[in-house]
Chain A
Amino acid sequence: MLTPEARKFTGSLGAGLERKRPWSERLHVDLPLLCALVILLGFGLMVLYSATNQNLPEVRRQVSFIGVAFIAMFTVAQFDVRWLKLWAPWMFLGGVMLLGAVLLFGEVTNGARRWIDLPGLPRFQPSEVMKILVPLTVASFLSRRVIPPTFLQLLACITIIGVPVVLVAIQPDLGTALLITVAGMFVLLLAGLRWKWVFLALTLAVVAAPALWVFYMDDYQKNRIHTFLDPEREPLGAGWNIIQSKTAIGSGGIYGKGWLNGVQSRLDYLPEGQTDFIVAVLAEEFGLVGIMFLLTLYIVIIGRALYIAGVAQDLFARLLAGSLTLTFFVYVFVNIGMVSGLLPVVGVPLPLVSLGGTSIISLMTGFGILMSVHTHRTARIGY
C-alpha cells in the first residue's frame, strides 16, 4: 500500500543509475566511515582482550556481536531512508507496544524490567530500539512540515518523545530515558526550534530537577550524584569505582603501562573494566597517546557523519543523520566524562568498545542509516 509519495521515490531509484557509481556506493557503503569504524572496533577488541584478563571466549563473543552488527548495518544501508520516513509512525507504534509489553511481561534483572524475550528472537531491550525510533519518528514528523516547528508541532514532538520516555523511565531505566529524550530533542534543535523555547525548556528543567530528585529518583541514583560530588565520601563503597578509574587513568601517564600491563583491571581493582569503565583500562595501558588515538577515531567518525548529514538531500535524512551523530557524540562524551570523574556515574557504555552486543548492534544500525542516507542520494542538482 504505497503512497504516491513513496512511488515517486521508487522512481527516483532508477534515475540514480544514469550516473556511474563506484562499487562502494552501489553496495551502499561509505568507505571513510567504514574504515574508521573497523579501526575503532579492532582497537576496541584489543583493549577488551586485556580488560577481560585475556578471556578469549568473551572476546570471541564480542566478535560475533560485531559480525551481527555489520550485517545489521549493511542490511539497513540497503534501504532508502525515505522508506524509513514512511514507515516511521508504524515502527514507532510497534516500539511503544513492545515497551508496554516489557512492563507487563518483561524479565526482571537487577530490580528493573528491561528485557523482553520474544519467540524466535534473541532476548533484547526494546528501549534500545527506541533510541533510533524516537529521532526517526520526530524527524519523519517534522520533515513533512515547514521548519522551524510551530508551538503545536513542538507539543506533538514532545508527545512522541514523552510516551516512550515515560514507559522506559518507569522500568526504571532513567539513563536510557534521558538518552532517548536527548536523541529526540536533537531532531527538534536541528530543525530550528526557536531559541526562546529552548531556553524556556532549560529553565523548566532546572526548576524541575529538585522535584525529580524528591519524587522520582531512587536512592541508588541519588547516591550516584552524591558520589560524583564527593567520591571520597565512601571510598570502599559507591566511590570505589570512580576512585579506581581515576587511579587507572592517572597512573597510565602519557605512554601508558603497555598492552596487557594494566594492573588496575588485571587485579580487579577496577570494576566494570570490560563494560562501562573500559576507557580506564585503555588509558592505563595506552596512556594519553591511546586516549588521543581513540578520540581521533571518534572525531573522524563523527566528522564524517556530520558531513553526511550536512550534504544529505532532504530534510528527513538530514535531521535523522544529524540527530544520530550528535547522540553518538553524547554517548562518547558521557562515558569518558563519567569514567574520568567529570560526570556522575550513569550506565552508558563506551560506544563500539565496551563489551555488550545490544549497544553495538543498535549503534551500527544507526551507522547503516547514515550510509543509506549518503549512498541513496539522487543526482538532483540544485538541492
Chain B
Amino acid sequence: MTERHILKDHNVERRVFLSRLFIGAGIAAVLVCVLISRMVYLQVEQHAYYTTKSDSYRIHTLPVAPNRGRIYDRNGILLADNKPSYNLTVVKESARSIDESLDLLATMIELTEDDREKLQGRLKRRPVPFSSVPVRLNLSEEEIANIAVNQFRLPGFAIEAQLVRHYPQGELMAHAIGYIGSISEEEMKTLDPVNYKGTDEIGKIGVERFYEDILHGTVGYEQVEKNASGRIMQVLSRTDPVAGQDVVLHLDSKLQKAAVDSLGEFKGGVIALDPATGGVLAMVSKPSFDPNLFIGGISRADYARLSKDKNTPLFNRALGKYSPGSTIKPFLGLAALDTGLRTREYTVSDPGHFHIDGSSHVYHDWTWWVNRSGHDLVSLERAIYQSCDVYFFDLATDMSIDTMHDFLAQFGFGRNTSIDIPQASNGTLPSTQWKRDAMGQPWYPGETVNSSIGQGYTETTPLQLATATMLMANHGKWHQPAMVKRLGLNSPDIERTSEYPDIQVQNADDWTFIGHAMSEVVHKGTGGYRNTGTAYPYIAANNPLAYTMAGKSGTAQVKSMPADFKKSDLVPEEYRDNALFIAFAPVEDPKIAVAVFVEHGESGSSIAGPIARQIIDAYLLDESGKLKPEFTPPAPLPTAPMLSASAP
C-alpha cells in the first residue's frame, strides 16, 4: 500500500462535522418533542377513553343462570328436578379449530354426528363472544378423566358442572308437566333478554311453560377479568341469582300411575279432578314419550321418530277434542228438567228407532243394533242408566240447539276454563250462531237430534268432561281446573275464585236426581236386561264397590259405516268407535271426578267404565281395598245434597 499524502484542514473538517452534528441534534430534539407530545396526548388527553377501552377488553359481565324451580306432586314426590351434570363446553374464540378438536375428542368420548350438529346450532345462537357453549352433556367419569388427561391439546374446551333438568318419572308425567327445551329463535324474540342471558332452555309446554316466569328465577351476574384468550383470571364481583320458585301440583303420582296402568295397551286420555278445588289429580295421555329427550335440545332423529309416529305420542289426548257420545246425556237430562221441557215422570215409548215429523230419515237407538228392539217406555232416569237414545232424540224435538248450547256452556263445554292449561282444546259446542260463523249455513233440526246424543258437531275434551262431571258432583259449584296447588314447597295453597258463576237450577234436587241416575249406570243390577245400568255388568256385577260411584258411558262414532259391518272385527282400528266414561265418587261426598277417553276402545261401558273404576279405586281405597281414612265419612248423616234440596 502506498502512503498517500493528503492535505487536511482539521479546523474546516471539525467545523463541517460540528455543524452537521448540531443539525442532527436539533432534529433529534424536535423528534423527542414529537414523542413527548404524542405521549401526553395518549396519556392525558385520551386517558379516559383508553381506560374505558382497557376495561372493556378485560372486564366481562357473565350471567349466572338461576336454578330452575322444581316441580312436586301433592305428596312431595319430585316430578322435575335439577341434576348435576358434567358438561364439556367450548369457548369458540379460544379453541384452535372446532372441527379438528371435535375429531380429537371423538377419540376420547362418545360424540355423535348429532352432537356436532347441535353444537353448530348453539354456536350460532350464542349471545356474546367468549361465552362458553355446551358440546356434550352428561359426561361419564371415564370421559371426564379422558378429557382431563388431554386438556392441553384442547384449548378453549373445559368441563363445567351444571345443573340440568331431569324428569325422574320419565314418560309417566310427560303430558302432565310438559318439558323444557332449547330456546328457539322465535322465543328469543319475546324473552326478556336480560333475565335469560345465562339460560339455554325454556318451558315448551305444560306446567313447565305456563309457570316459566315462576320456575325460571332471576339471573345473577359475575364480573370477571378475562385474559386475551378468554380465560377467566379472577372474579371481581358477584350478584347471586335468585333461584326459581318450586311448584307443587295437585297431581297424585300414584293415581297417575294407576291411570296409565289401567289404560293398558289402549291409547287414550284420562283426567281426574278434585271436586273440592278443581285441582287436576291425574292427567294421562297414552302413548307418551320421555321428556328427558328434550333436555339440551332434542336430536333430530328422536324428534322425527316422535313426530312421525302414527300413534302421535306428542299429542295430549286428555286435552284433545272428541265426540262425547252418550256422556253428554246426564247434562242434557238436567237441562230437560230445568227448562221444564220434561218432568221426571214423562216417558217416551222407544221402539228402537225414531224419525222427525216430516222427515224420512230414521235414527236408531243403539239397542236396535243389538236385538232389533228399543227400550219400550223410558223415563229420564232409565234413559240415563240405560243410555236410551230415542228419549233424547225426542227431547231434541222440543229443545232447540241454542237452549242446549246455553245450558251446556255453563258446564264449561266449548271453551277452555282451566287456570293453567292453555294448550287444552276449546272443543266445539254447536249453536245456530256457531254454525253460521263457522260454516255459513243455517242449523237443521236433524242436527239437533245428533247433538242430543253427543254426536255431530259436538266435540269435548276429556278435561271438559271431567270438569262437567265435577260440576255435576258439586251440584253446580264451580272450580276451574288447575295443575298447580301451591308455589313453594311449604307455602299455603293458592286460593282461587272461579271466574265462572256457580250453576243454578230451578229445583236443586234435580242434581241429586241426575246423580242418582248416574249411580244406577254403575250400581243398578237387579232389574234384568231392560233395567240394568249399562256399565253394571262390567264394573260392579262381579266385584262389589266399597263406595257409590256415579258414571255415564259414551261410545262415540268415529266413522259412519253400515251397521252390520260395524259389528265385525273387520273394522280397521282407526275407524272403531271411541269409548268414553265419566264418573265421580263417592256419590254422597264426591272426592274425585274422572273422565276416561279410550281411543277406538269401541265400548264406553265395557272398556272405559272398568278403567274409570280402577282409577277411582286407586284414589279412594287403601291396599286392603277399604276406603282410605280421609275419605271415610265421619258418620252416616243425611247427605248434603238432600239437605240442599229445600233450597229455592
- Name A's B-contacting residues (CB within 8 A): 3-5, 144-148, 186, 189-192, 244, 246-254, 263-264, 266-269, 283, 287-288, 291-292, 295, 299, 302, 306, 309-310, 315, 318-319, 322, 326, 329, 333, 336-337, 340-342, 383
Complex alpha-carbon distance, A148 and B16, angstroms: 8
Complex alpha-carbon distance, A248 and B8, angstroms: 54
Complex alpha-carbon distance, A25 and B13, angstroms: 26
Residues of A within 8 A of B14 (CB): 318
Our pick among A251, A340, A383 for the contact of B47 (Cβ within 8 Å) is: A251
B21 and A253 contact, CB distance less than 8 A: no
A291 and B16 contact, CB distance less than 8 A: no
Residues of A within 8 A of B191 (CB): none
Interchain nearest-CB distance for B36 vs A (Å): 7
Complex alpha-carbon distance, A269 and B227, angstroms: 7
Our pick among B32, B38, B40 for the contact of A299 (Cβ within 8 Å) is: B32
Our pick among B9, B28, B229 for the contact of A329 (Cβ within 8 Å) is: B28
B16 and A288 contact, CB distance less than 8 A: no
Specify the chain A residue showing the minimal Cβ separation from B52: A251
B53 and A250 contact, CB distance less than 8 A: yes
Interface residues of B in 1-19 (CB under 8 A from A): 1, 3-4, 6-10, 13-14, 16-18
Residues of B within 8 A of A340 (CB): 35, 38-39, 42
B39 and A191 contact, CB distance less than 8 A: no
B24 within 8 A of A: yes
Complex alpha-carbon distance, A250 and B17, angstroms: 40
B54 and A309 contact, CB distance less than 8 A: no
Residues of B within 8 A of A287 (CB): 43
Contact digits for B24-53, partner A, Cβ 8 Å, 1 yes 0 no: 110010011011101110111011011101
Q: Given the known A-B contacts A250-B42, A253-B44, A340-B39, are A309 and B34 also in contact in the complex, defined by CB atoms under 8 Å? A: no
Contact digits for B218-241, partner A, Cβ 8 Å, 1 yes 0 no: 000000011111000100000000
Residues of A within 8 A of B233 (CB): 267
A249 and B34 contact, CB distance less than 8 A: no
Contact digits for B242-286, partner A, Cβ 8 Å, 1 yes 0 no: 000000000000000000000000000000000000000000000
A190 and B40 contact, CB distance less than 8 A: no
Which of B14, B20, B31, B38: most chain A Cβ within 10 A? Answer: B20
A253 and B58 contact, CB distance less than 8 A: no
Our pick among B8, B21, B50 for the contact of A322 (Cβ within 8 Å) is: B21
Q: Given the known A-B contacts A267-B233, A288-B43, A333-B35, are A247 and B20 also in contact in the complex, defined by CB atoms under 8 Å? A: no
Interchain nearest-CB distance for A296 vs B (Å): 10
B21 and A310 contact, CB distance less than 8 A: yes
Interchain nearest-CB distance for B8 vs A (Å): 6
B57 within 8 A of A: yes
Specify the chain A residue showing the minimal Cβ separation from B49: A250
A-B contact pairs, 30 of them (CB 8 A): A148-B16, A192-B16, A244-B57, A246-B50, A247-B57, A250-B42, A250-B43, A250-B47, A251-B51, A252-B43, A254-B43, A254-B44, A263-B225, A266-B227, A267-B57, A267-B233, A268-B229, A288-B39, A288-B40, A288-B44, A302-B28, A310-B21, A322-B24, A326-B28, A333-B32, A336-B35, A337-B35, A340-B35, A342-B38, A383-B10
- Name B's A-contacting residues (CB within 8 A): 1, 3-4, 6-10, 13-14, 16-18, 20-21, 24-25, 28, 31-32, 34-36, 38-40, 42-44, 46-47, 49-51, 53-54, 57-58, 225-229, 233
B44 and A315 contact, CB distance less than 8 A: no
Q: Which label, helix, strand, loop or mixed, suits the secondary structure of the B interface?
A: helix
Complex alpha-carbon distance, A194 and B226, angstroms: 57
A190 and B43 contact, CB distance less than 8 A: no
Which of B4, B13, B46: most chain A Cβ within 10 A? Answer: B13
Complex alpha-carbon distance, A4 and B3, angstroms: 8
Which of A186, A287, A288, A302: most chain B Cβ within 10 A? Answer: A288
Complex alpha-carbon distance, A190 and B15, angstroms: 11
A186 and B24 contact, CB distance less than 8 A: yes
Residues of B within 8 A of A248 (CB): 54
Interchain nearest-CB distance for A291 vs B (Å): 5
B54 and A263 contact, CB distance less than 8 A: yes
A191 and B16 contact, CB distance less than 8 A: yes
**6 closest A-B pairs by CB:** A250-B50, A192-B16, A267-B227, A251-B54, A268-B228, A251-B50
B20 and A190 contact, CB distance less than 8 A: yes
Interchain nearest-CB distance for B606 vs A (Å): 74
B17 and A146 contact, CB distance less than 8 A: no
Residues of A within 8 A of B16 (CB): 147-148, 191-192
A315 and B17 contact, CB distance less than 8 A: yes
B42 and A246 contact, CB distance less than 8 A: yes
Specify the chain B residue showing the minimal Cβ separation from A322: B21
Complex alpha-carbon distance, A326 and B17, angstroms: 13
Interchain nearest-CB distance for A160 vs B (Å): 18
Residues of A within 8 A of B28 (CB): 302, 326, 329, 333
Residues of B within 8 A of A251 (CB): 47, 50-51, 53-54
Interchain nearest-CB distance for A322 vs B (Å): 5
A283 and B39 contact, CB distance less than 8 A: yes
A269 and B13 contact, CB distance less than 8 A: no
A264 and B21 contact, CB distance less than 8 A: no
Which of B17, B31, B46: most chain A Cβ within 10 A? Answer: B17
Complex alpha-carbon distance, A191 and B20, angstroms: 8
Complex alpha-carbon distance, A383 and B9, angstroms: 10
Which of B44, B50, B58, B226: most chain A Cβ within 10 A? Answer: B50
Interchain nearest-CB distance for B584 vs A (Å): 69
Interchain nearest-CB distance for B473 vs A (Å): 70
B46 and A292 contact, CB distance less than 8 A: no
Our pick among B4, B34, B46, B228 for the contact of A250 (Cβ within 8 Å) is: B46
Complex alpha-carbon distance, A354 and B234, angstroms: 29
Specify the chain A residue showing the minimal Cβ separation from B17: A318
Interchain nearest-CB distance for B27 vs A (Å): 9
Interchain nearest-CB distance for B11 vs A (Å): 9
A192 and B42 contact, CB distance less than 8 A: no
Interchain nearest-CB distance for A327 vs B (Å): 11
Interchain nearest-CB distance for B287 vs A (Å): 52
Residues of A within 8 A of B6 (CB): 144-146
Residues of B within 8 A of A264 (CB): 54, 57
Which of B24, B40, B46: most chain A Cβ within 10 A? Answer: B24
Specify the chain A residue showing the minimal Cβ separation from B225: A267
Complex alpha-carbon distance, A147 and B4, angstroms: 16
Interchain nearest-CB distance for A66 vs B (Å): 25
Complex alpha-carbon distance, A199 and B192, angstroms: 68
Residues of B within 8 A of A322 (CB): 17, 20-21, 24
A190 and B50 contact, CB distance less than 8 A: no
Interchain nearest-CB distance for A112 vs B (Å): 25
Complex alpha-carbon distance, A309 and B22, angstroms: 11
B17 and A319 contact, CB distance less than 8 A: yes
Residues of A within 8 A of B25 (CB): 306
Residues of B within 8 A of A337 (CB): 34-35, 38
Interchain nearest-CB distance for B39 vs A (Å): 5
Complex alpha-carbon distance, A73 and B227, angstroms: 40
Specify the chain B residue showing the minimal Cβ separation from A333: B31
Interchain nearest-CB distance for B518 vs A (Å): 75
Complex alpha-carbon distance, A304 and B82, angstroms: 74
Complex alpha-carbon distance, A326 and B21, angstroms: 9
Residues of B within 8 A of A302 (CB): 28
Interchain nearest-CB distance for B595 vs A (Å): 63
Complex alpha-carbon distance, A209 and B3, angstroms: 43
Specify the chain B residue showing the minimal Cβ separation from A145: B6
Our pick among A144, A246, A306, A319 for the contact of B4 (Cβ within 8 Å) is: A144
Interchain nearest-CB distance for A281 vs B (Å): 13
B51 and A250 contact, CB distance less than 8 A: yes
B43 and A283 contact, CB distance less than 8 A: yes
Residues of A within 8 A of B42 (CB): 246, 249-250, 283, 340
Which of B36, B47, B227, B229: most chain A Cβ within 10 A? Answer: B47
Residues of A within 8 A of B44 (CB): 253-254, 288
Residues of A within 8 A of B51 (CB): 250-251, 253
Complex alpha-carbon distance, A253 and B50, angstroms: 9
Our pick among A191, A267, A383 for the contact of B17 (Cβ within 8 Å) is: A191
Residues of B within 8 A of A309 (CB): 21
